[in-house]
Amino acid sequence: MAIWRLLADAVVLFHAAYVAFVVFGLVAIPLGAAFGFRWVRNLRFRILHLAAMALVFVEMLARIMCPLTVIENALRICAGGSRYRGDFLAYWTHRLIFYSWPPWVFDVLYVGTMLAIILLLLLVPPDRREPRAAR
């Protein structure tokens, strides 16, 4: 039973990291551009950032639950259905990324985030040149 809970906790941590990546990028790109940080124009980073949000956006349009949430729930059931008893890190990580708001609120957030990322691609375009070390 402990292994299932541990795996569920690992999934929720990965889920939180995924959310943090999207949010961090959304904040870091305009700030980095303003301060002249070249890494915010890295093409691979920008494609990965767009793809991460695009996946969430497609899930929203298709009205499917996030696969990470599905996996976490299944693992918690395998663990005996226990919900974060005594597991501080998983409990608070889960509380940080899941809210009990109406679904339309999330739709608005996802659409707004997707539009902001596309806008940032136009306002702070990625550098298509290879880094000096790769040449």
Q: Which residue has the higher pLDDT, 99 or 24?
A: 24
Phi-psi region of 80 (alpha: psi -120 to 50; beta: other; left: phi over 0): left
Q: What is the pLDDT of residues 14-49, one digit of tens each?
A: 998 999 999 999 999 999 999 999 999 999 999 999
Instruction: Enter the pTM of the model.
Output: 0.79
Average pLDDT score over residue span 96-116: 85
3-state secondary structure of 125: coil
Q: How confident is the model at residue 81 (pLDDT cuts 50, 70, 90)?
A: confident
Q: Are 11 and 68 in contact (CB under 8 A)?
A: yes
Tokens of 43: 């093409």
Average pLDDT, the chain: 86
Q: Are 93 and 19 in contact (CB under 8 A)?
A: no
Using alpha carbons only, give the angle 21, 22, 26 rounded to the nearest 5 degrees.
Answer: 115
